[in-house]
Amino acid sequence: STAPTAAAAAEQIGCPVAAIANSLIFNAAGDPLLVLTSGAHRVDTAKLAALLGLPKLARATPEFVRTHTGQAIGGVAPVGHPAPIRTLIDQTLAEHGEIWAAAGHPHTVFPITFAELVELTKAETVSVN
């Protein structure tokens, strides 16, 4: 079945929406930036841009996402991209023993721990909102 939103995925899995790790790709002055955020949060792009020393973070186009991840919006996995992507991770995901991330397709997710996800992605832990 389809799990296009964090709420739908959480309902299907039977976990809190906050334990869903959304993979959001932003255009950071021409470079891709992956933000792994809790399904319970909206990303404060102005705050993250300031943290990164950028004038702004733009939501990536579907073409930009596919070029840099090899995957389509709605199912972007935190790994498996053609080249490494700088990654930030929402610190509140650490509150969950198990988190769920997209597996490269809109209909698939996989369970992982916060520590494993940080190790796998080399993510920098931040407050996203």
Decide if 1 is inside a domain.
no
Q: Which domain covers residue 40, as residue numbers?
A: 6-126
Residue 94 in any domain: the answer is yes
Residue 9 belongs to what H/E stretch?
Answer: helix 6-13
pLDDT in tens, 54-101: 999 998 999 999 999 999 888 899 999 999 999 999 999 999 999 999
Decide if 13 is inside a domain. Answer: yes
- Report if residue 11 sits inside a domain: yes
Amino acid making up residue 12: Q
- Which residues are within 8 A (CB) of 103 and not within 5 positions of it... i.e. 6 or more apart? 75, 77, 109, 110
Residue 15 within any structural domain of the chain = yes
- State the total domains in the chain: 1
Domain CATH code at residue 60: 3.90.960.10
Given a cut of 80, whether residue 1 has pLDDT beyond it is: no
62 belongs to a structural domain: yes
Q: Which pLDDT score is estimated for 7?
A: 86
**Quick one: what percent of the chain has pLDDT higher than 70?**
97
**Quick check: pTM over 0.95?**
no
